Amino acid sequence: MNEPTPAVPEGFAHRTVMRDEVAAVMTVVPSGTVLDATLGGGGHAEAVLEARADLSVLGIDRDPDALAAATRRLAPYADRVVVHRGRFENIREAMAQHRVEHLAGAVFDLGVSSPQFDRPERGFSYRNDAPLDMRMDPDDRWSAADVVNGYDEQQLVAMLRRNADERWATRIARAIVAARPIETTVQLAGVVSDAIPAPARRRGGHPAKRTFQAIRIEVNRELEQLPGALDDAIAVLAPGGRIAVLAYHSGEDRLVKERFREGVTGGCTCPDDLPCVCGAVRTLRLVKAPSRPSESEIAVNPRAASARLRVAERLHEAG
């Protein structure tokens, strides 16, 4: 690695979702560098490095605590790992900085990591009282408090629907505006719960779950940056290189499916029963891989239950 090893924050222990499945996907890629665009605690990177001695990893993450944990975890492979602090929307900049021209593979594990949820002071969880934060990069100026107390009612409604398909978006938004200023996670969770009809509160887990998800996505611009990042990763894949994406909710998965479909079809507009004459250039093929975690993994790590894995491979000859 090209950076000194910082101390690993106490309690940063992330369970890697579909670790073996992602490693298996990368067993047939060409030699070279695999991008881990969401390095986290380094579990997927470690699995790739264990599986192939001819692969190196460029790991990107915006959370310095995650980078510290990954640096420690990947120390046995220090000569094959580079860690980079940043957002995955800046893949090309990271590659240029570290002199990586093409990728043998790319891994995206979207969403928030368990340590971020489990550390109350980060403000991601409705279960612990903490300031409204939810920033993956603690140096960002924009936080959950800015969204909760700054968006008008219609902006809140749109955000809740866009980021979480929240059925009760209007009621929740109206309640948030009426309760301002809202300063803590527990306060927000109470406002949201009270806004939802009692029968609905008794179904589908904690009633504030979707609202917290929507705010977290908004603060960190997760859906906004994803399509461009996927396109950039696909564009720099070497022939035979693969991209594997783990998504945890429908909005993320729709975007992944759309970008993969664009690569598989080349944007072809011709009828399915006729040869392509529109000049579309196909760059990807879909790879069949286990799309969901196993029951045994979910039993050990219930947070993995919502994961969906999609994999595509760069064609040797675009056409």
Full pLDDT tens readout for the chain, 319 residues? 443 333 444 444 568 999 999 999 999 999 999 999 999 999 999 999 999 999 999 999 999 999 999 999 999 999 999 999 999 999 999 999 999 999 999 999 998 876 676 787 888 888 889 999 999 999 999 999 999 999 999 999 999 999 999 999 999 999 999 999 999 999 999 999 999 999 888 887 889 999 999 999 999 999 999 999 999 999 999 999 999 999 998 899 999 999 999 999 998 888 878 888 888 889 999 999 889 999 999 999 988 999 999 999 999 876 5
Q: Which pLDDT score, from 0 to 100, does residue 116 have?
A: 73
**Whether 248 contacts 306, CB under 8 Å:** yes
Q: Give the orientation angle of helix 250-265 with respect to helix 222-235, to 10 degrees.
A: 30
> For the chain, what's the residue count?
319
How far is the C-alpha of 312 from the C-alpha of 310, rounded, in Å?
Answer: 7
Sheet containing 284-286: give its strands across.
Answer: 81-85, 55-61, 32-36, 103-109, 237-247, 308-314, 284-286
**Whether 172 contacts 192, CB under 8 Å:** yes
**Whether 279 contacts 60, CB under 8 Å:** no
How far is the C-alpha of 19 from the C-alpha of 317, rounded, in Å?
Answer: 30
Q: Which pLDDT score, from 0 to 100, does residue 4 have?
A: 39
As a 3-state breakdown, the chain gives helix, strand, coil percent values, each rounded to 5, of: 45, 15, 40
Q: Which pLDDT score, from 0 to 100, does residue 60 have?
A: 97
Fold topology of 19-115+222-314? Rossmann fold (3.40.50)
* Rounded to 5°, angle at Cα 169 from 167 and 173: 160
CA-based nearest residue to 301, from 129, 106, 118: 118
CA-based nearest residue to 187, from 135, 140, 123: 123
Fold topology of 121-220? DNA polymerase; domain 1 (1.10.150)
Residue carrying the six token digits 């286990």: 290
* Ranges of each domain in the chain: 19-115+222-314, 121-220
| pTM assigned to the model | 0.89
How far is the C-alpha of 263 from the C-alpha of 242, rounded, in Å?
Answer: 12
